[in-house]
Chain A
Amino acid sequence: MTGMNHGRREALKKMGYAAIAVGVYWKAPSLLASHAPTAPVAVGTCKTYNPAELLSTLGRMFDQLGGLKRIVSGKTVAIKINLTGAPTYRVGYLPLGDTHYTNPQVITAAVHLIGKAGAKRIRILESSWSSAYPLEETLLQADFDPRQIESAAPNVEFENTNFLGKGKKYSRLVVPFGGYVFPAYELNHSYSDCDVFVSMAKMKEHETTGITLSMKNCFGITPCSIYGASAGIDDPDENPKGGRGLLHSGTRQPSKIAPAELDTTTPRQGGYRVPRAVADLIAARPVDLQIVDGVKSLSGGEGPWAPGIAPVQPGLLVAGTNPVATDTVCMKLMGLDPMADRGTHPFETSDNMLRLAEEAGIGTRNLNRIEVIGARINDVALNYTDQRRVSLMRHGSLPTRGIFSALT
C-alpha cells in the first residue's frame, strides 16, 4: 500500500464522514489541504530557563499572537504538559526538564502570564506514567516543585488524567471528521471541562512518529485506564499500569466503555496508528494554544529509552494557535521537512501526522501560508541531526543513557 494512495483514499473516506457530520460539501483532501486553516506562529529565542528571560520572551510572543487576554480572560484554561515516561528516568545525570519533560520554569512562566491575562482557573494536566496518584506526586518525583507552579497564578489546580480522576464519569469527545482510528475517545473530564485547551510540549524527535511537538503531546490525553496495557476488557482499570500499547499496536480494543476502532483491518503498526490517533485527538479536542519548549531538549528520540539520543540546546520557544501550523514551524526550526512523508527523514517508519491533520482540515503545513513572527527561522534553526553528529564526534559513540553527562 503506498502512503499517498492509501492516504488519499482514506482521507476521502474520512471527509465523507465529515461531510455527513457537519453538513458541508465534500471536498477532496488536496483541496482541504490547500484550504486548511492557518494561524500566525511566534518564535522566540531564549537561551536559559531563567524566569525573567522566560517571562519576557513568552510575554512578547503572546503579544505577537494578538495577546493572551482575548484567548483566556475569564476562562478555565487546561494545560496539557509533556511528562513522557516514568519520572525516575533521566538522560545521563541531566534534569528531566532539560531533556524530555516540559521544563517546570516554562510551565510556571506560562501559568503566570495566563493568570495575569485574566484566566478564571488554570488546570495543569498530564496522564502520569503508570499511575493514578496525584499529578503533583509525579512532578515531585521528577524534582519539579508543584507549589512553584501553583503560586504563579490564582486558582491553579493539577489533575492526573490517566484515569477517571476527579470526575464522576469520562467525557466522550467525538472526532468531527469521523476519525482515522476511532470515531470518538473517552477522556478524563478535564479535557471537556475547560474553555481553552493548551498543549505545552517539548521540541523533540520521536522513535515511532518522527517528531513529538504540540500535536503528539495530545496522544497523552488518552487515559491508560481505558487505552492502556492494564485496561479492562469491559470496564476501565482505575489503577492503570504501563503504557498505551493498545493504541500503538492495536493488538486489542480499548475497554468497552469507549467506541471500538473504525477498521480493524488497518495495519497494526505504531507508525501507522499513532499519527492517525494524534490527528483524531487534536480534532476531537481542538488545541487553542500551543507552547513548545525548545530551550533545551533531546534529539534522536523522545526519552532516555530511545537509542541514539543526544541532548540539544536550541534556545527556542514557539507559540501559536493552530497546532499543525505551529508544529510545521517547529519542524523547520529542527532542520526537518514538514512536507516529508513516510520513508523519508524523520518519518522513516511512520506517516507524517502533519499531513494527516492537514488532510483532515485541521491546519496547514504549508510554510508559505503561515505567518512566522519574531525570530526568523533561518537565523535560529538548529539542525537536530547535525547536533547528534557533533555529539557523536565528541563522545566517540552516539550518546545513550549513562555515557554522557553534560549538555554539549
Chain B
Amino acid sequence: MSSELIPMRWPPQWRNSSALQRLSNTHINCLLIENPDSQHSVVEQAQRNGIRVIHETQLPGITVIKGEWPGAKLSRSDNRDTASSGPTGLPWVDSNGWKARLAAALNPKSTVWVDVTPRDPPPRSYPLCVADVAACGGAWIISLDDQLAAGIERGDSEPVETWKGLIESVEFFATHNYWSAYLRAAVVGVMSSFSGDNEASSGEVLNLLARTTEQYRIIPNESFSANSLSGLQAVLCPDSDPPGAGLRKPLLDFVQTGGLLITRSAWDGVPGTPANWDHPRYAGRVFGRGRIAVAKSDDAADPYLVANDTVALVSHRFDLLRFWDAGSVNAYLSEAPDGNRAIVQMVFYAREMNGKMATGGPENATVRVAGRYRTARLLTCDKQPATLGQPDDHGVGMLIDGDSVELHLPSLSHYAAVELGV
C-alpha cells in the first residue's frame, strides 16, 4: 500500500472502546467513524492509542473512489457453482484494481482509497477485497458487513476466523509496502482523457485489458510527458476523438522508432504506407520502423474487442506474464528501481474445477515471466515464504529457460506474490 494510513470504517455495533483491542498489533491506524459524537469513548481511546480518527469529509491528500465487491460472478445452479460469463464465455470478474490504478494516474500526488460496502459477501472474500486493491497500490477502506461485525463482537468462531484472515492480508501488504516504490512493467500504454464521453469506455478497456493479464501503463492525456512511452511496445488510444496536436508528434516519433500505435479514430493524414495486414477491424499502415493500426469502423469500439484486439495486435510474443491453469487472475509485474528484483503479484478471483468455476485460487497454476531471473520466492498472506527452486516431487518450483522463467505454483488461495531475483 502506498499510503501510510491504513483505514477502517468503524462498525457502529462496536460501541465499547474495548473493541479497539482488536486493532492492537495490527497496522490499522486510521478509523472512519460515521457519528463520532455518539462514540466519544471510542474516539478518545483510539486517539490515545495513536490511531487517527477522521470524518469522511476530511480526507486531504486522499482520493476516495467507489468500488464494488470483487470476485467472479458465481451463481448457484443445480447445486453447483456456475459462473456468469462475459462475452468470451469466461467468468465475469468484478475488480477494483484498475479503478485504483486509474485514480492514482489521474491524481499522482494523492493516496487512493477504495470504498466498497460489503453486502452479504462470502466471508472468505474479505482478504480478496484487501488484495484486489492493495496489489494495485491502493487501500480498501476496511468495512465489515453487519453480520460479521456482530459475530466478531460476540466472539463467534467463524466471524473471528474471517477477521483474522482479513487482518493477515492487511498485515501482509503493510509489511511489503516497499513494493510501492517498484516500477510497473508495461507492454502497452493506454492513452486517453479518461473523462467526458470517453470515461466509461476507456475505463472498461482498462478493466478488460487487465483480464488478459497484459501489462499496461495508464497515460492520461493531460499528464503526458517525455517518459510516458518509454519501454512500451505499443500505445492504445481508445478515445473516439484523436489525441490533440501536442500529443501527435511524440506518438508518431514512437511509431517511427518501432512502436505500434492502435487508434480508434482516423487521424487526418495518417502518415506511412498501407500495410499488408489481414485484420477484420483494423487497417494497418507502416511508418518508419513501426506500425499504425486504425480502426475501420465503430464496430471495433466495443471495449471487449478493443482489449483483445490490442493483445493480438501487439502479439503474445511480448507477453511479460503468461499463465496456464490460473483461473480468473489479475496479475501485475513490477521491478525494483535497481533492476535486481521484480515482483509478480497475482490476485485470484475464481478457479476452475472439473469444468466448473469455484471461488478461490488455482491448484496448480504455471506462470511464465519474461526476464533473466535466477531466484524466486513465493509469498502468500497466510503461509511462510517458500523458495521456488528445482521442481520438487509435486512439480512445484522454477524452471529457468533462457530469457524467461517458468514458475510452477502450488495450491493457492486468493493472492500470491513471487519475488524474483536476477
Q: Are A166 and B278 in contact, with the CB atoms below 8 A?
A: yes
Q: Are A93 and B89 in contact, with the CB atoms below 8 A?
A: no
Segment touching B, from A135-143, A294-302, A336-344, A352-360: A135-143
Q: Are B363 and A402 in contact, with the CB atoms below 8 A?
A: yes
Interface of B is mostly: loop
How many chain B residues touch A (CB < 8 A): the figure is 30
Interface residues of A in 203-239 (CB under 8 A from B): 229, 238-239
CA–CA, A54 and B94, complex, Å: 47
| Across-interface contacts of A405 in B (CB, < 8 A) | 364, 391, 393-396, 408
Nearest CB in chain A: distance from B170 CB, A: 30
Mark B65-88 against chain A: 1 for CB-CB distance below 8 A, else 0. Answer: 000000000000000000000011
| Across-interface contacts of B319 in A (CB, < 8 A) | 140
Chain A: which residue is nearest B391 at the CB level?
Answer: A405
Chain A: which residue is nearest B394 at the CB level?
Answer: A405
| Across-interface contacts of B414 in A (CB, < 8 A) | none
**Out of B315, B323, B324, which one reaches A137, CB within 8 Å?**
B315
CA–CA, A315 and B316, complex, Å: 31
Nearest CB in chain B: distance from A239 CB, A: 8
CA–CA, A166 and B368, complex, Å: 31
Quick check: is B317 within 8 A (CB to CB) of the other chain? yes
Q: Are A89 and B325 in contact, with the CB atoms below 8 A?
A: yes
Interface of A is mostly: loop
Segment touching B, from A126-134, A179-187, A273-281: A126-134
| A141 with B364, Cβ < 8 A, contacts A90-B325, A406-B391 known | no
Q: Are B322 and A143 in contact, with the CB atoms below 8 A?
A: yes
Q: Are B312 and A92 in contact, with the CB atoms below 8 A?
A: no
- Work out how many contacts link A and B, with CB atoms closer than 8 A: 63
Interface residues of A in 358-408 (CB under 8 A from B): 401-402, 404-406
| Interface footprint category on A | 20 to 34
| Across-interface contacts of B312 in A (CB, < 8 A) | 133-134, 137
**Out of B325, B355, B368, B408, which one reaches A143, CB within 8 Å?**
B368
**Out of A90, A133, A136, A229, which one reaches B324, CB within 8 Å?**
A90
Quick check: is A268 within 8 A (CB to CB) of the other chain? no
Interface residues of A in 229-263 (CB under 8 A from B): 229, 238-239, 241-242
CA–CA, A132 and B280, complex, Å: 10
Mark B271-287 against chain A: 1 for CB-CB distance below 8 A, else 0. Answer: 00000001010000000
Nearest CB in chain B: distance from A368 CB, A: 42
Q: Are B316 and A141 in contact, with the CB atoms below 8 A?
A: yes
- Best-buried of A88, A89, A404 by chain B (most CB within 10 Å): A88
| A241 with B394, Cβ < 8 A, contacts A89-B324, A93-B366 known | no
CA–CA, A233 and B116, complex, Å: 42
Nearest CB in chain B: distance from A235 CB, A: 14
Q: Are A238 and B364 in contact, with the CB atoms below 8 A?
A: no
CA–CA, A406 and B364, complex, Å: 13
Quick check: is B354 within 8 A (CB to CB) of the other chain? yes
Nearest CB in chain A: distance from B163 CB, A: 30
Chain B: which residue is nearest A133 at the CB level?
Answer: B312
| Across-interface contacts of A406 in B (CB, < 8 A) | 391, 395
Chain A: which residue is nearest B392 at the CB level?
Answer: A405
| A137 with B89, Cβ < 8 A, contacts A238-B280, A404-B395 known | no
Nearest CB in chain B: distance from A305 CB, A: 6
Q: Are B280 and A307 in contact, with the CB atoms below 8 A?
A: no
Q: Are A241 and B87 in contact, with the CB atoms below 8 A?
A: yes
CA–CA, A239 and B279, complex, Å: 12
CA–CA, A238 and B394, complex, Å: 42
CA–CA, A166 and B280, complex, Å: 10
A and B contact pairs by CB, cutoff 8 A, 13 listed: A88-B323, A90-B325, A93-B395, A137-B315, A140-B319, A401-B364, A402-B325, A402-B411, A404-B395, A405-B394, A405-B395, A406-B391, A406-B395
Residues of B participating in the A interface, judged by any CB pair closer than 8 Å? 87-89, 278, 280, 305, 308, 312, 315-317, 319, 322-326, 354-355, 363-364, 366, 368, 391, 393-396, 408, 411
